[in-house]
Amino acid sequence: MLPQEIIRRKRDGQRLAAEEIAAFIGGLAVGTVSDSQAAAFAMAVFFNGMSRDEAVALTLAMRDSGTMLDWSHLPGPVTDKHSTGGVGDNVSLVLAPIVAACGAYVPMVSGRGLGHTGGTLDKMDSIPGYKSQPDLALFRKAVLETGCAIIGQTADVAPADRKLYAIRDVTATVESVPLITASILSKKLAAGLGSLVLDVKLGNGAFMEKSRDATALATSLVEVANGAGLKTSALITGMDQPLASAAGNALEVRNAVDFLTGRARDPRLETVTLALAAEMLESAGLAPTHQDAARRAVDALDSGRAAAVFGRMVAALDGPADFIEKMETYLPKAPVEHPVRAPAGGFVTEIATRDLGIAVVALGGGRSRAEDAIDHSVGFDRLLPLGAEVAAGEALAVVHARSQDDAERAAAAVLRCYGIGPARPTAKKAVLRRIGPREA
């Protein structure tokens, strides 16, 4: 089958057979389909969509482009979580060790930044020595010994998705339900999971800004995953503001370690993390009820067990053995810190969250092209949340930048993102809805 004929059929709105999709994705994996053809295919899918059967076929084709992992030798359930992406979303860094501390195994295969959203893999690359893309032997060893491992796709796991993922990032084809569904689930199916929980973001910092779109994506993910034999549910969570008070790779790692050790915990981050942890533990069969699962997650966090798991995971993947204790000596720091002063007093009434993410990319904390290098030290921290009261001249955030010029441009961008008004806005829930197999 000629790749251009498959592209033409999808361009013209025709339904592709599973064999055509498998041939195209197989060609992408081995190099007989070019990047330009993959970009054209992604754009055709973006505009014309896919049926549920096509989305299943695309997911399975990308899964089958590489190795399927087998965790049957582990003495506990294997589970994972995936987020559709947001700003200040460092949930994975704290969630995986919480769930592992409760007796589950979490082989978390994560991605790099996509568009305005930060990537879990880019955050972990802030840690010196940490092997975010180990070989499979080290990955398996780390999971067995510590209970979790946060890594990127290896050459063996869903290689076709890795190629298409990078192409989508730089061709404005990210916000497509079938492409997002297949990208997420191909990795998770290849990871050999027993259960999966999805965090589907909704709001002005998410790929899905409207409730109906987020619900459609969550439903697609749940339907396709369960149809492929993977027990899956989804939580729809709010992304109308950064989830953590930091946005930027090393800054979010610092925030995550502070969260795990109890030095500081952003309230919305805690709410979302514990809700996902409870969902994972109940789904994995480690707790008889949601209430019991929530209690176990809180205990793992507050007892320090989760922080200890994170430290062991970092060491197992060749990061510093004392990273938790000496984080500040290891994480890269930007040479310029610049506070963003509020122009007037009042309450934070709105945050243009997507634009904040774009501002991190502009600082060098994300990619404009697939081959771009990242500066892990730059970004924002001490970001005020919605509803915070601020006086004129007080800091809305602190910019971490490579130069004073960069810092001033970023500060101007932050000011454009924040709205300040005389009245405190009504608080919005962090966890909005659950979608399970019976609802899908």
- Annotated active-site residue 168? The verdict is yes
Number of domains, the chain: 3
Give the separation between CA 201 and CA 84, rounded to whole angstroms: 6
**Within this chain, do residues 234 and 304 fall inside the same structural domain, yes or no?**
yes
34 backbone dihedrals φ, ψ, rounded to 5°: -80, 165
**Within this chain, do residues 293 and 249 fall inside the same structural domain, yes or no?**
yes
* CB contact at 8 A, 128 and 119: no
Return the closest-CA partner of residue 336 out of 395, 393, 410: 410
Tell me the average pLDDT across 149-165: 85
Of these residues, 59, 65, 83, 132, which one is catalytic? 83
For residue 439, pLDDT beyond 60 = no
379 backbone dihedrals φ, ψ, rounded to 5°: 140, -155
Give the separation between CA 31 and CA 27, rounded to whole angstroms: 6
Amino acid occupying residue 259: F
Q: What pLDDT was estimated at residue 368?
A: 65
* Residue-wise pLDDT tens digits, 220-256: 999 989 888 899 999 999 999 999 999 999 999 999 9
For residue 440, pLDDT beyond 70 = no
- Annotated active-site residue 83? The verdict is yes
**Within this chain, do residues 258 and 391 fall inside the same structural domain, yes or no?**
no
Of these residues, 80, 169, 381, 406, which one is catalytic? 80
Environment class of residue 263 by beta-carbon count within 10 Å: exposed (0-12), middle (13-18) or buried (19+)?
exposed
* 114 band by pLDDT with thresholds 50, 70 and 90: low
b vs e for 98-114, b when ≥16 Cβ sit within 10 Å of the residue's Cβ?
A: bbbbbbbbbbbbbbbbb
Tell me the average pLDDT across 404-430: 96
**Within this chain, do residues 9 and 95 fall inside the same structural domain, yes or no?**
no
Host domain of residue 16: 3-49
Question: Domain containing 310 — which CATH number?
Answer: 3.40.1030.10
pTM value > 0.85: yes
Q: Is residue 151 part of a domain?
A: yes
Give the separation between CA 283 and CA 281, rounded to whole angstroms: 5
Bridge partners of 236?
200, 433
Q: Is residue 439 part of a domain?
A: no
- Annotated active-site residue 82? The verdict is yes
- Annotated active-site residue 183? The verdict is yes
- Annotated active-site residue 73? The verdict is no
Structure tokens at 290: 């949601």
Of these residues, 65, 110, 117, 120, which one is catalytic? 120
* CB contact at 8 A, 186 and 63: yes
**Within this chain, do residues 277 and 349 fall inside the same structural domain, yes or no?**
no
**Within this chain, do residues 165 and 298 fall inside the same structural domain, yes or no?**
yes
For residue 156, pLDDT beyond 80 = no
* CA distance between the termini of the chain: 34
Environment class of residue 61 by beta-carbon count within 10 Å: exposed (0-12), middle (13-18) or buried (19+)?
buried
**Within this chain, do residues 358 and 311 fall inside the same structural domain, yes or no?**
no
**Within this chain, do residues 233 and 358 fall inside the same structural domain, yes or no?**
no
* CB contact at 8 A, 182 and 59: yes
Of these residues, 10, 63, 81, 162, which one is catalytic? 81
* Residue-wise pLDDT tens digits, 397-411: 999 999 999 999 999
Question: Domain containing 383 — which CATH number?
Answer: 3.90.1170.30
Tell me the average pLDDT across 310-321: 98
